[in-house]
A and B are shown apart, each in its own frame.
Chain A
């Protein structure tokens, strides 16, 4: 898929941002010389903390604003609280968080059921588009799943 050789200088905008100073040693930040006075700046006023907020232990305090969504709860919340006792350097921080996410997905299903909603997992996985644009592979996958399931069923029945 190689392009035909082109006069690259004719491409709109070619070379417009050439900056000979843009060397690896040339920082892209607007260096202010204040790195060693970095804790001294005018902060915004803090957002009131009205929810349980887990804080990285690599920070001295909450940031001035934070996301308000989904405080920790249930078993996944307990796992997340454990994770946040450890720094971002430790597996003991990240691996429990991934575990908590998986537990949380099951908690979500239970929550739906408690509210009287049966989650439409078929729709949530976008299966309408799957059937529209990927019908062949989708049908193959579905048939394989049914065939394997049926074979396992027969196997179990035979053993009994």
Chain B
């Protein structure tokens, strides 16, 4: 089968690899019909995530058709069209039982700091991902969810990560009616978080980035205010001024470890790797939220640590909330939002690329060429 093959930082290719096999009685094999490149895949592609081994297949956003199931799989059957949450979750451990499917204790041998994630390095369990024609899906009784027959597959594939992560970012913000919400990062997750902030009763939503075409898209899609931080001397000061000098009620970091905008963060985080990426967005979020406000973090940071103004968290009485999205917990509500027309995730898709051209797809997304927002990879086996 054809699959993505990571060869080192900034180098990927599509090549023939062995078919995945059932390795556990609760496994399924899924024939992939659509798969996306996520912004967090770029952290792997750029060599920012420790234990990303050459030969790995990335991809944690995919949908497909069940081709084979292990003997203990009862909740899905061969032929089902399923969307597969990016978290690998057993459904039985204490964390899964409490709805924390992103923190499963039985899906990652290599690290305790994160649950298992498809195609996201050995730090997240060493699973091959869905940027392939076929993929092994462990715990198939838990994750794979049958796609409603009337749902557009382009909407379904974005329900595996983008929509739940953006929604949970807003949810963790504890937004109250009338709140001002600032979202850092106008990538797909940030745009979705800004759109979902309205569901929780926000009165004002502001998105901050440095890429004009993405800001323009965000303004139209999420009905929010959009500002380029490169056009302002000091984004934190700007946000203070525009919120009556108090700061936003809620700030959401949708950027993670590859932020721009602060020379010291960039030098220590991206150039010399003295910290786990540049935590500029998190720094701005902490410094521009009001006293007693909430900072919600869904931007991905690698281990082991980042420089953030933790003293301000204490002195301002800020609540920090963060987690990998609990996709399975959120799916019923989000499927309803999509089916009712309140959300149209597929509008984020700007590029459709054959799996064979994956190297170009990564380069386009990484460098934000051709006004790329979201790329979907189409395997030749989609039919």
- A8 touching B106 in the complex, CB below 8 Å, given contacts A69-B127, A119-B7, A126-B363: no
Contact, CB under 8 Å: B126 / A11: no
Contact, CB under 8 Å: B227 / A2: yes
Contact, CB under 8 Å: B215 / A88: no
Within 8 A of A (CB), among B330-383: 333, 337, 341-343, 359-364, 367, 369-370
B94, closest chain A residue (CB) = A38
A14, closest chain B residue (CB) = B198
Which chain A positions have C-beta within 8 A of B105? Answer: 63
- A54 touching B122 in the complex, CB below 8 Å, given contacts A1-B216, A1-B228: yes
- Listed A/B pairs (9) with beta-carbon separation below 8 Å: A1-B226, A22-B175, A31-B98, A41-B92, A45-B25, A53-B109, A56-B110, A72-B53, A101-B8
Bound form: Cα–Cα A126–B227 in Å: 31
Contact, CB under 8 Å: B319 / A24: yes
Within 8 A of B (CB), among A48-87: 48, 53-56, 58-59, 62-70, 72, 76, 80, 83-84
- Shortest CB-to-CB span from A89 to chain B, Å, is 8
Chain B: residues with CB nearer than 8 A to chain A?
7-13, 23-27, 47, 50-57, 88, 90, 92-94, 97-100, 105-113, 116, 122-123, 125-128, 136, 138-139, 171-172, 174-177, 198-204, 212, 215-216, 219, 223-228, 273, 294, 303-304, 319, 321, 323, 326, 333, 337, 341-343, 359-364, 367, 369-370
- A22 touching B122 in the complex, CB below 8 Å, given contacts A29-B98, A100-B51: no
Bound form: Cα–Cα A115–B109 in Å: 31
Chain A: interface size category: 35 or more
Contact, CB under 8 Å: B122 / A29: no
Contact, CB under 8 Å: B13 / A15: no
Which chain A positions have C-beta within 8 A of B223? Answer: 3, 6, 8, 11
Contact, CB under 8 Å: B199 / A15: yes
Bound form: Cα–Cα A69–B54 in Å: 10
- Shortest CB-to-CB span from B94 to chain A, Å, is 4
Contact, CB under 8 Å: B343 / A126: no
- Shortest CB-to-CB span from B112 to chain A, Å, is 5
Which chain A positions have C-beta within 8 A of B56? Answer: 69-70
